[in-house]
Amino acid sequence: MSEKKTAAEALLYAPENGCARISAEEAARCAAYCEDYKRFLDDGKTERECAAEAVRLAEQAGFRAYVRGEALQPGDKIYRINRGKSVFLAVIGSEGLAHGVQIGGAHIDAPRLDLKPSPLYEDSELAYLKTHYYGGIRKYQWVAVPLELHGVVALKSGEVVEVCIGRDAGDPRLVIEDLLPHLGAEQSKKPLGEAIPAESLNILVGSRPLSDVEKDAVKVNVLSILHEKYGITEEDFISAELCAVPAYQATDIGLDRSMIGAYGQDDRVCAYAALRAILDIDRPKKTAVCLLVDKEEIGSMGVSGMQSAAFDTFIADLCASCGGVDREICYERSFCLSADVTAAYDPNFSEAYEKRNSARLNYGVGLCKYTGARGKSGASDASAEVVARARRMLDDAGALWQMAELGKVDYGGGGTIAQYMANRNIDTLDAGVPVLAMHAPFETVSKLDCYMTYKAMRALYEEQ
């Protein structure tokens, strides 16, 4: 080896594709992990379904519902579910909570089309549901794709009826129609963002009139079907949360099966990594905390979002259960990986990315020092020391990682729950899976990156 090459090796930072860097045993563990992850995706297409599935998996792994005021011991595994939409899990460490906790936080809500409070109408003998989109979507992507309807209807009596149409084999599905190209000349002249207005995202749900009904017979027929199946009437839509989501199952992508395509991988890919990691650890030194939260896609607002005091209350309760530690002292010494996806470099749209600082498929979990838009607006911007700690932690655990920025400066931007954790005086760094076509009805990730994100979350919970 020449002296020059040695100097280059010693001095240059040269990230490598992870596929060549992992052993056959590790590749087999990665493949098995991804099969479990695909099942998790198919079982949870809303935050409520993900929360329920997380609790089911946690109980299977020996976690139990936390009771406020109970005394907790090292090794105890507990969870609290917040209003059916977010979940906090913890494994009590051998050190006290005064030493801080290790937090893995991800979100389980995803962009979708919510039904409006008064959604059902008939036009030209066709029945439709009006929608209001949730999160950042490109509206043109949601037409002419099969949809399912998931959610709940809360009745005046207090009973909550679960609705799920389209998931099971043999179920009917729903769709929003697009204009045929033969008549699309005028529509095609419009900018992409204007071609499909929000108020045209109306879901087709029926075309057959109920006999002997004079007015709106197609709509009445749809209502009679819903009444028969769920016992609901039109007024009950007012207190419902019904979400139209793509009717896609998670599937391998590529002839080499190296990738996964599915709906809602932002951020269930990181949520599953954070969850699975805490289920797989036993007796950490520091208390491990996993957060699966709602409402990230609309700003982390509300009682089930990361800005909610529900998390502060949970940690205060844990502190009380572990010998009466001050919550603020616990926060000050805690460390959080905000586990959320980042954009993967897409050579089809190279103009939107700055290649030297973009995450790439198969290079491992993407660490983002900052998110935000323009001059880092809205970013918590982790300190150099926090990034160094993450480098050390991940390298020691053999979790492959890369640095990531969302795309070119001034091309757009985004945010995560990181700022809301950092605002609590918790050192926080964004870390997550790079995604192709993020927020599309069908998103793509690399299996290796999924598995490395799991390893990163385990490294966090088991940091010494």
Residues near Mn ion (CB under 5 A) are: 266-267, 340
- Could you tell me the two tokens for 344? 């993967």
Q: Whole-angstrom Cα distance, residue 283 to residue 273?
A: 18
* Nearer CB in complex with Mn ion: 306/452: 306
Q: Which is nearest to 365 in space by CA: 421, 293, 420, 447?
A: 447
Q: Answer whether 439's CB lies under 8 Å from 138's CB.
A: yes
* Nearer CB in complex with Mn ion: 111/364: 111
Q: 252 CB contacts (<8 Å, ≥6 apart)?
A: 259, 260, 261
* Nearer CB in complex with Mn ion: 78/274: 274
Instruction: Tell me the closest approach of the beta carbon of residue 267 to Mn ion, in angstroms.
Output: 4
* Nearer CB in complex with Mn ion: 53/266: 266
**What residue is closest to Mn ion based on CB?**
267
Instruction: Tell me the closest approach of the beta carbon of residue 379 to Mn ion, in angstroms.
Output: 14
The DSSP-derived string for 51-64 is HHHHHHHHHHTT-E
Q: Answer whether 306's CB lies under 8 Å from 293's CB.
A: yes
Instruction: Tell me the closest approach of the beta carbon of residue 293 to Mn ion, in angstroms.
Output: 11
Q: Whole-angstrom Cα distance, residue 313 to residue 460?
A: 23
Instruction: Tell me the closest approach of the beta carbon of residue 439 to Mn ion, in angstroms.
Output: 6
Neighbours of 199 (CB within 10 A): 9
Instruction: Tell me the closest approach of the beta carbon of residue 109 to Mn ion, in angstroms.
Output: 9
Instruction: Tell me the closest approach of the beta carbon of residue 77 to Mn ion, in angstroms.
Output: 26
* Nearer CB in complex with Mn ion: 96/299: 299
Neighbour-count burial of 307, counting CB atoms closer than 10 A to its CB (0-12 exposed, 13-18 middle, 19+ buried): middle
Q: Answer whether 161's CB lies under 8 Å from 242's CB.
A: no
Q: 171 CB contacts (<8 Å, ≥6 apart)?
A: 148, 165
Q: Around 350, how many Cα atoms within 13 Å sit in the side-chain half-sphere? A: 3
Chain-centre distance for alpha carbon 216: 39
* Nearer CB in complex with Mn ion: 222/341: 341
Instruction: Tell me the closest approach of the beta carbon of residue 336 to Mn ion, in angstroms.
Output: 15
